[in-house]
Amino acid sequence: MILDSPRGIHVAIIMDGNGRWATAKGQLRTAGHIAGARTVKKIVEAAPDCGIGTLTLYAFSADNWRRPSREVGLLMRLFRRYLVSEVARCVTNGVRMRIIGRRDRIPAELLRAIVNAEQATRAGRTLDLRIAVDYSARDAIIRAAQAIDPVALSDPASARAEFAKVLAYVDHGIGESKDVDLLIRTGGEQRLSDFLLWECAYAELYFTRRMWPEFGPVDLSEAVQEFRSRERRFGTVPQAAAG
């Protein structure tokens, strides 16, 4: 069943800088991820007040499996802990949780927590929270290309919308596609790293040097304010120049 999405913009965040934040303080990288999980809670709580209806967080890319197994193990435990500990708060606050990305390589315990959190929060209408785990935009596009019926692409007027639907389905298990309005990346790097490549076609990009563990609600609000001050033209001309 597809229910209405919450109103508000779609913000996607590449949560980068946990490791550097920790090592700069003389701590293990894993301490940075633990601090990063605390930031996730604060940002999820602050998102609706910033006018955000959908928040997609890049928690673990398909390439992140190549990290040391100790770090990967800790991240999987952190994701599980987050889902288990936040589910009640999400129900109360109307947050619908969903995980996007592949599911076949995820540890069984985490998978159980995912299914439970998605089920328990499915009626949430204040914020759509999507957490990308074992995610690769390129792989998702390939899976959609393999799955789609070519007939669905035969009409140029509807081909993009049809493809987006299939992409959302193969990746999110829901036939509901959402373009990103604002993409934020913390940690100072300025790249997309295989995140929501299709959905970011017209996203406004916002890069900040702030490391993810120190990114807070004020930073989120500043990013959204900056987004609102930008003119989005989607390939057309400014209103004043039209005609």
Interface region with ligand FPP, contact rule CB under 6 A, candidates 4-12, 59-67, 90-98, 121-129: 59-67
Task: Return the amino acid letter for 103.
Answer: R
Element (H, E) at 30: helix 29-46
User: Does 36 sit near ligand FPP (CB under 6 A)?
Assistant: yes
Interface region with ligand FPP, contact rule CB under 6 A, candidates 30-38, 96-104, 140-148, 176-184: 30-38
User: Which one of 31, 43, 50, 82 is in contact with ligand FPP (CB under 6 A)?
Assistant: 82
Q: Go through 54-72 and write b for each residue having 16 or more CB atoms within 10 A of its CB, e for each that does not.
A: bbbbbbbbbeeeebeeebe
Of residues 212-231, those binding ligand FPP (CB under 6 A)? 212
User: Does 187 sit near ligand FPP (CB under 6 A)?
Assistant: yes
CB-CB contact of 36 with 212 (8 Å): yes
Q: Collapsing DSSP states into helix, strand and coil, what is residue 141?
A: helix
Vertex 128 angle, CA 194 and 230, to 5°? 65
**Per-residue contact flags (x/-) with ligand FPP for residues 61 to 80, judged by CB under 6 A:** ---x----------x--xx-
Find, among 9, 4, 50, 5, the residue nearest to 203 by Cα.
9
Sign of the torsion angle spanned by Cα atoms 223, 224, 230, 234: positive
User: Does 40 sit near ligand FPP (CB under 6 A)?
Assistant: yes
Binding-site size, ligand FPP (CB under 6 A): 22
User: Which one of 8, 9, 12, 17 is in contact with ligand FPP (CB under 6 A)?
Assistant: 17
Kindly list the residues in this chain that would bind ligand FPP in the complex (CB under 6 A): 15-20, 29, 33, 36-37, 40, 57, 59-60, 64, 75, 78-79, 82, 131, 187, 212
